[in-house]
Every structure is written in structure tokens, then in C-alpha cells.
């Protein structure tokens, strides 16, 4: 073999061995560090204010009235509105109406015929009264000239008085017939929302039949009952917040009525809170809740923001729950670990709510920093970056 060829093979083998040896001496690459989770915190506080009691209330319109027919007959028309599908339909619940709007009518021909008949009788009575007036005028002249006996004069005067009475009766009949004709129409007594419709075209209705139920809903009332032990917590004109399960925000109203005596069955006093409702969010029949303050707490409680509470099965840092399937509740506390902050999970038991704060027992101390935003994004012991 050529000595130069053997040298080239030896040199190439040595080069590759050196390359692999250098590669083996290199330190393994480190995984990139995970970015710190940004969180906001709030300190655990001590609360010793007023302890409130929740009450359930019903939302009702500020005023609600049935609109009924006074004249009987067959329903010939119902106010028309354009529906969401673009088709014209009869007035229905949820529609708004203005004061004086004609909502429905019954057949008017019978009442119009009666009115014409009474008008004819009135004209006839007026003609008779005019003749009696002329006869009585002549009788007065003759009586003064001693050309008419007393009995004839009295008869003329009686005829005159009777004719005047006949005219008055006919006028009253005409007025009544005109009113009956007008009562064929059912009108809205005030600006309101239709709560229900109880008639259909062609239906035979009697006098007093309710055609619609309407209510003023741009202002509503929350009605609830309280025992006499809480009467001192409500006063006329006092501001009162009301909440519903439908909306996250509270509705601020004013106590406008307190019953002077208790209900005979429930032994509670009815209280009304009047609430402005310009957007119509509060619907008639909704169930609302409100809190009335009683006495101050006998023992101060530790409270944290409601948003700091996390339950099992929620978020990265939630607990696993208990063995019987019930949920456990936790908070995450920001603790210093050397030069960084870490999140530590603490099991707590939520208690009563006081506004946006909730009472907790065990697991935390006054002054601890609990995670308010970001609690569902961390795990126990995970490094965090406190931005507030």
C-alpha cells in the first residue's frame, strides 16, 4: 500500500474522533425559562362593619291596570303593529303604547243607529217644545188681558214645562248614546307597556270584559316583607340597592312605602323600593335580592375580594376537591422566596359576603397578599410577577 494513502486515512480517522470528542465535552443545552405570570394582589383585611341580611323581593310595574270594554259587542279591530319578521300583527304583550291610543274596538253600527234614533227624538222634542213655548206666550198675553181663565193658563204652562222636560230627557239620551258609541273604543290611559292581551278579532265581549292589562314599567317597584325587628333599618326616602341573578350590576332605588301594619298571615311589613328602569332591564315578575343592615359584627372577620376565591376544577391552580365530590375553595397567597415571588395555595372556607368582599376562615392572616387577578392561571409554588 502507498504510504501516503495510509497517512491520509489515519489523518481523517483522527479528525473525526476529535470532532466527536469535542461534541461530547459540550454541556447540555438548558431549556428556556418560562415567563413569569403577571398577577395583581390585595391584602387580607379585617371587617367589623354592619352585618346584613338578605331579603327576596318581587319586581312589579310602578302601576298596572286592566283596560276593559264598557260597551258590549263583537271585537272588530285590534291595534296593528309590525312584528320582527316584518309582518303586520295584532298588538301583543311587550308592545309600548301612548296615552289615548285606540287599542281595540267593538262593532259600532248598533250604537251609531241608537244615537241617530235618539237624535231624531231630540229634534222632535225640540219642535214640540217650540210649539209649547209659542202657545204659552199667547196664554200669558191673554191671561194678563183677563181673556183666559186660570185653568186654561195653568194647562198651557204645564204643557210648556212638560215639553222642556221632554227636551232635557232627549238631550240626556243623546249624550248617553254618544258616550256608548265612544266606549266602543278601548284607549290607553297612560304611556305604558302591554303586559297581556285577552281578546281576539270576532270575539263577543260584554261590558267590563278586560281587553288588555298594561303597566308602567319604565319605573318599577321591588316589593318585599320584613319582620318588625328590622323596621329600624328601613326609612322612607332611604337609598337601597337591589340585585338580580340576571344582571351583574346593582340597581339603586329609594324606599317609597312602608306598610303601617303587618300582614295578618305572614306577620311581616311590606316595603316598596321604587327603581328607575329606563332601559326596561327589570321585568315584571323577576325575583330580586337586597341586603338590609342590622347590628355590627360581634367578632371581626377576615375578608378577601370575591375574585380571589377559586374552586376545585377551575383554572390551573384549582384544587382537586374532596373525596365525597364536594368542592373545596382556595386562595393563592403571594410569598417571597429569595429574590422572587411565588404563589402558595391556601384552603379556605368562604362565608358571608359584604359588598365585593367575602369572609374567609383559616389558611390566611390579616396582611397576607392574595391573588385577585391571575389566581386561575397559576399552580402551587409557581413563580409570579406582582404588578400591583
Q: Nearest-CA neighbor of 269 among 327, 210, 227, 312?
A: 227
Instruction: Flag whether 377 is in a domain.
Output: yes
How far apart are alpha carbons 343 and 153 in whole angstroms?
A: 117
pLDDT value of position 194? 94
pLDDT at 2 over 80: no
How far apart are alpha carbons 367 and 283 in whole angstroms?
A: 43
Instruction: Flag whether 315 is in a domain.
Output: yes
How far apart are alpha carbons 197 and 101 in whole angstroms?
A: 15
pLDDT value of position 17? 45
> CATH code at 354?
2.40.420.20
Are 54 and 289 within 8 A, CB to CB? yes
pLDDT value of position 27? 47
**270-321 pLDDT per residue, tens:** 999 999 999 989 999 899 988 886 556 667 889 998 889 998 655 444 444 5
pLDDT value of position 292? 82
C-alpha cell at 373: 387577578
More confident residue, 7 or 126: 126
pLDDT at 349 over 60: yes
**241-269 pLDDT per residue, tens:** 998 888 888 899 999 999 999 988 888 99
Instruction: Flag whether 27 is in a domain.
Output: no
| Mean pLDDT in residue range 132-138 | 87
Instruction: Flag whether 376 is in a domain.
Output: yes
Antiparallel, parallel or unpaired: β 210-226 and 192-197: antiparallel
Q: What is the dihedral of CA 95, 101, 106, 111, to 10 degrees?
A: 170
Residues 96 and 188 in one domain: yes
Residues 169 and 192 in one domain: no
- Number of domains comprising the chain: 4
**CB neighbours of 364 closer than 8 A, spacing ≥ 6?**
44, 302, 304, 331, 333, 346, 348, 370
pLDDT value of position 120? 93
Q: For residue 193, how many C-alpha atoms fall within 13 Å in the half-sphere facing its CB? A: 19
Domain end among 252, 269, 296: 296
**187-236 pLDDT per residue, tens:** 999 999 999 999 999 999 999 999 999 999 999 999 999 888 788 888 99
Domain end among 261, 296, 331: 296
- Alpha carbon 331 to its chain centroid, in Å, reads 34
Are 137 and 153 within 8 A, CB to CB? no
Q: Nearest-CA neighbor of 106 among 178, 195, 203, 177?
A: 203
How far from 42 is each of 308, 315, 359, 360, 388, CA to CA, in Å? 9, 19, 14, 14, 8
Q: What percent of the chain has pLDDT over 90?
A: 49
Q: Nearest-CA neighbor of 313 among 300, 329, 324, 298?
A: 329
Instruction: Flag whether 4 is in a domain.
Output: no
Q: Nearest-CA neighbor of 272 among 66, 52, 51, 60?
A: 60
Rg for the chain, CA atoms, rounded: 44
Q: Look over the chain and give the mean of its residue pLDDT values, rounded to a whole number.
A: 84
pLDDT value of position 233? 83
> CATH code at 138?
1.10.287
Instruction: Flag whether 370 is in a domain.
Output: yes
Structural domain boundaries enclosing 306: 37-49+300-386
pLDDT at 22 over 70: no
| Mean pLDDT in residue range 171-196 | 92
How far apart are alpha carbons 357 and 331 in whole angstroms?
A: 13
Residues 76 and 209 in one domain: yes
Q: Measure the CA angle with vertex 66, ends 63 and 72; round to 5°.
A: 160
How far apart are alpha carbons 92 and 77 in whole angstroms?
A: 13
Label residue 143 by pLDDT band (50, 70, 90).
Answer: confident
More confident residue, 24 or 103: 103
How far apart are alpha carbons 258 and 271 in whole angstroms?
A: 5
Backbone angles phi, psi at 338, to 5 degrees: 70, -120
Backbone angles phi, psi at 331, to 5 degrees: -130, 160
Q: Has this prediction a pTM greater than 0.85?
A: no
Amino acid at each position: 500500500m502507498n504510504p501516503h494513502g495510509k497517512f491520509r486515512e489515519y489523518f481523517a480517522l483522527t479528525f473525526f474522533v476529535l470532532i466527536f470528542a469535542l461534541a461530547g465535552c459540550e454541556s447540555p443545552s438548558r431549556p428556556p425559562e418560562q415567563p413569569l405570570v403577571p398577577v395583581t394582589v390585595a391584602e387580607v383585611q379585617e371587617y367589623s362593619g354592619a352585618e346584613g341580611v338578605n331579603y327576596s323581593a318581587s319586581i312589579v310595574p310602578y302601576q298596572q291596570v286592566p283596560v276593559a270594554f264598557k260597551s258590549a259587542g263583537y271585537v272588530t279591530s285590534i291595534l296593528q303593529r309590525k312584528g320582527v319578521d316584518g309582518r303586520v300583527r295584532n298588538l301583543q304583550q311587550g308592545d309600548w303604547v301612548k296615552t289615548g291610543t285606540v287599542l281595540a274596538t267593538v262593532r259600532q253600527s248598533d250604537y251609531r243607529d241608537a244615537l241617530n234614533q235618539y237624535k231624531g227624538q231630540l229634534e222632535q222634542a225640540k219642535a214640540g217644545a217650540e210649539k209649547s213655548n209659542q202657545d204659552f206666550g199667547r196664554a200669558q198675553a191673554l191671561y194678563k188681558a183677563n181673556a183666559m181663565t186660570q185653568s186654561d193658563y195653568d194647562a198651557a204652562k204645564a204643557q210648556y214645562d212638560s215639553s222642556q222636560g221632554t227636551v232635557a230627557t232627549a238631550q240626556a239620551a243623546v249624550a248617553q248614546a254618544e258616550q256608548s258609541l265612544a266606549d266602543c273604543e278601548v284607549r290607553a290611559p297612560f304611556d305604558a307597556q302591554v303586559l297581556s292581551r285577552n281578546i281576539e278579532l270576532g270575539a263577543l265581549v260584554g261590558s267590563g270584559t278586560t281587553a288588555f292589562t298594561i303597566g308602567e314599567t319604565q319605573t318599577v317597584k321591588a316589593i318585599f316583607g320584613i319582620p318588625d325587628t328590622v323596621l329600624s333599618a328601613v326609612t322612607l326616602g332611604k337609598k337601597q340597592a337591589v340585585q338580580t341573578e340576571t344582571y351583574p350590576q346593582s340597581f339603586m332605588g329609594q324606599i317609597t312605602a312602608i306598610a303601617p301594619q303587618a300582614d295578618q298571615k305572614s306577620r311581616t311589613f311590606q316595603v316598596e323600593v321604587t327603581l328607575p328602569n329606563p332601559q326596561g332591564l327589570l321585568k315584571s315578575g323577576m325575583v330580586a335580592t337586597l341586603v338590609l343592615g342590622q347590628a355590627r359584627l360581634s367578632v371581626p372577620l377576615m375578608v378577601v375580594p370575591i375574585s380571589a376565591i377559586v374552586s376545585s376544577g377551575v383554572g390551573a391552580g384549582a384544587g382537586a376537591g374532596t373525596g365525597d365530590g364536594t368542592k373545596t375553595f382556595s386562595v393563592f397567597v403571594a410569598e417571597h422566596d429569595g429574590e422572587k415571588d411565588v404563589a402558595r395555595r391556601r384552603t379556605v372556607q368562604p362565608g358571608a359576603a359584604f359588598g365585593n368582599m367575602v369572609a374567609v376562615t383559616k389558611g390566611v392572616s390579616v396582611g397576607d397578599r392574595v391573588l385577585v387577578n391571575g389566581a386561575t392561571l397559576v399552580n402551587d409554588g409557581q413563580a409570579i410577577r406582582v404588578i400591583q
